[in-house]
Structure 1
């Protein structure tokens, strides 16, 4: 039986619709959940593969430990919960049970950086990619559209390595990803352009709007690890680079520096700041406080390039 996939624009809904189909198509795959998402799966679609859908309850360290054990037996676990429960809370297990044992898994998060502002710091996931950067061998995808999320999930499920797919509650209206891990050129500046802007995942259309009328090149990445330094170098005119990331500010600044290690350059990292915001408000309020709304991006980029 093939599951019916939700073809909407919500990345998380697309994942829940796709998961039963992936399981049905590949006997290696096992879905491992920690309560989050279990109630969103279609019971009729899950029924034929129910023996490979494990809900461990709110036990996040166990979540990763079980995934590591399954991987050692030749299974391919697809592990899902909110980002802070998937990467931060069980970080030791991610490091040892997956990394040290050198086994593969697909970690799929939900909630972006602060999709649930009322949940506060326990549910804020902006440190995830920076933490995974301290470990070896991870591929990291940050889709900006549900179609991108589906394509990246399919490829990750069919593979063997350690892959993190970061799902966000917001999306671009258009899918921009090339599907080959390379950055896409969304806008090309002139030969005398003022710099290059690298927009990650769901920040693409907001970045395009914020840079309207500026003579800059705008690149788009849905895969951030490995970082596509080759496209950045090939399209670089002015040696000034701005990163617009939907998670912790400066997470990829070192990647830019490595890619341009023989080029004198400046880099500005924009993203979620280190300040802990204790009045939660809405996601829009958080964007504004971190300078990730259109006005904040415009101000930061023009000040830097000036």
Structure 2
């Protein structure tokens, strides 16, 4: 995919906010002293009167966003995933989730691909944390096209949304002209007969690349882009699992509490089949180049290919 356009989904987030800002004036954007990194600085430059920097006070930012939402406006609260889901969890739960307010959380720099920032900033627990909050929608887009569509869909729906964006530039695999996005509906990216790969975020691209390599070995892999972790599209999972009989889940997140566990819960109850979860295996990350770290932790095409072969064996 070297010749494919690559864009970091955090960049997509910032650009999508600017595009929305030109169409709607009923929302504001908040950040916690990270506007350059989260890319919300683009919105600040275009609409300074609708941008608020809360400083290095993420929990307070969440409270401010909640307060603004009670006035009828939509509030986008932006910071790193580690701070949005980790540091401000209590405020997200009690100030946004409990009253079911119309706040959209833009969480950037998630997962191992944060790279050199190391374990303290590589949040691999945020999906698990956000899934537990009643009524919270959790979206993990895979590329530029999907990320922009997710921001728009989050704005249009009523209620709290957690959107997970990455720091690393990733290949754009969707066609902007034909792409259709619906919250809670997975996307069949590639049909297959031998195994189902359910992926989210940048692992969708890795899974598609792995499926190509597996096809050369005579293994037919079906790839599903599960951009919405909650509410989960149970229908597409069950339909594919019944066809292939084996499922591999792939996520740049802990294997505890994320996409893998969500898929396993559905299959265990409604259609038990062998499942293997590929993700971060109950360890902390480390500092290093993002691509090298993804390879070390098995979160690349080679790792997906190897996991499929282990599952089939």
TM range (shorter): 0.7 to 0.9
Please give the alpha-carbon distance, in whole angstroms, between the structure 1 residues aligned to 2:262 and 2:41. 40
Paired residue for 1:3? none
Q: Distance in 2 between matches of 1:51 and 1:244?
A: 41
The 8 Å contact of residues 68 and 74 in structure 2, kept in 1 or not, is answered as: yes
Aligned to 1:25: 23
Report the Cα distance in structure 1 between the residues aligned to 2:259 and 2:12, rounded to whole angstroms. Answer: 27
Taking a change above 3 Å as real, the CA distance of residues 10 and 46 of structure 1, as seen in their structure-2 partners, is same
What secondary structure sits across from 1:65 in the alignment? helix
Rate the CA distance shift 1:42–1:108 in 2: closer, same or farther, 3 A. Answer: closer
- Provide the TM-score with structure 1 as the length reference: 0.88
Structure 1 residues 65 and 113: alpha-carbon distance in aligned structure 2, compared to 1, 3 A threshold: same
Give, in angstroms, the shift of residue 8 of structure 1. 7.6
Matched, 1:263 2:271: yes
1:99-122 deviation per Cα after TM superposition (whole angstroms, max 9, x unaligned):
122212110111131343222222
CA RMSD of aligned residues (A): 2.3
**Equivalent pairs, count:** 295
Q: Distance in 2 between matches of 1:233 and 1:47?
A: 46
Counterpart of 2:280 in structure 1 is: 272
List alignment gaps of at least 5 residues for structure 2: none
Higher relative contact order (CA 8 A, sep 6+): 2
Tell me the TM-score normalized by structure 2. Answer: 0.86
Q: Deviations along 1:212-251, whole A, 9 cap, x unmatched?
A: 2212322222222111110111223233211011222241
Q: SS of the residue aligned with 1:160?
A: coil
CA–CA distance in structure 2, aligned partners of residues 46 and 122 of structure 1? 28
Contact map agreement 1:230 1:259 (CA 8 A) in 2: no
In the alignment, the residues of structure 2 paired with residue 89 and residue 17 of structure 1 have an alpha-carbon distance, to the nearest angstrom, of: 26
Q: Per-residue CA shift, 1:246-265, capped at 9, x if unaligned?
A: 22224123322332213231
Q: Which runs of 5+ in 1 are unaligned?
A: 1-6
Does 2:237 match 1:232?
yes
Displacement after TM superposition at 1:296 (Å): 2.1
Give the structure 2 partner of residue 254 of structure 1: 261
> What displacement does 1:38 show?
5.0
More displaced 10-residue stretch of structure 1: 129-138 or 259-268:
259-268
